[in-house]
């Protein structure tokens, strides 16, 4: 299967600072990547769809000024949590789908964000 690498796997930051999470498709090109958030013992909730070379599409209720998404190339999307607060602490997971192909989704290993 295709490999999606997410970095960092965990991060602790102070309230008010910004944190950037990277999502890379290592062996395929991904026109579209997806960012999810997962609370403990809950399922994944889609935050936004990241499209290469254009603006991300955010789901209802997700603050686009707080969760900045950049998809500058076919292999890299970044999620920046700006002015982080403790309630932003969560598990963030990215997903990438091959350009073309059978549309199977591949996921990164996730990033555990803790805001103190």
Shortest separation between residue 84's beta carbon and another protein, angstroms: 20
Residue with tokens 């490999």: 3
Residue with tokens 């403990």: 40
Catalog residues that contact another protein under the rule CB under 8 A.
1, 4, 6, 32, 34, 41-44, 46, 49, 91, 93, 95, 97, 102-110, 112
Shortest separation between residue 16's beta carbon and another protein, angstroms: 26
Quick one: 31 or 82, whose CB is closer to another protein? Answer: 31
Shortest separation between residue 47's beta carbon and another protein, angstroms: 11
């Amino acid at each position: 299967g295709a490999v999606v690498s997410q970095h960092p796997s965990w991060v602790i930051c102070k309230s008010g600072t910004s944190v950037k999470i990277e999502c890379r498709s290592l062996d395929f090109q991904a026109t579209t990547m997806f960012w999810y958030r997962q609370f403990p013992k809950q399922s994944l909730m889609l935050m936004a769809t990241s499209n290469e070379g254009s603006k991300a599409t955010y789901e209802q209720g997700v603050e686009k000024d707080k969760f900045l998404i950049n998809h500058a190339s076919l292999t890299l999307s970044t999620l920046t949590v700006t002015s982080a607060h403790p309630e932003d602490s969560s598990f963030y997971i990215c997903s990438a789908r091959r350009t073309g192909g059978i549309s199977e989704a591949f996921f990164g290993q996730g990033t555990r964000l803790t805001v103190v």
